[in-house]
Amino acid sequence: MIRTIELAPNERIIAIVPEACDGSGWNNKIVNVYILSSTGEFREEILQLDEITNGMETLFNVAITLNKSLLAALPHRKEKRTRPQE
């Protein structure tokens, strides 16, 4: 069933990010919806594939490809983080 994201009057959607997740013997496709209020409060709604519109489903794989390309183009590196000493 298509799910409607409910927004408060001071909220707006700042990003919609599709994600294909998989592991040993399973996989899932979700859509992350990032929401920000005018006071700076952040929240996330996660939609399963059966909760999105046909139009969103059509764009899903294109958006996954674009997102991977953007991540590859973003300079970044993983570093082992040390815990602060108490």
Secondary structure (3-state) at 30: strand
pLDDT band, residue 21 (cuts 50/70/90): confident
Residue extents of the structural domains in the chain: 11-71
pTM of the model: 0.79
The end-to-end CA distance of the chain, in Å, is 50
Query: What is the percent of the chain with per-residue pLDDT over 70, rounded to a whole number?
Result: 100
pLDDT band, residue 15 (cuts 50/70/90): very high
59-86 pLDDT, tens digit per residue, is 998 999 998 899 999 998 888 877 777 7
Sign of the C-alpha dihedral computed for residues 3, 8, 9 and 15 taken in this order: negative
For residues 27-49, give the mean pLDDT.
95
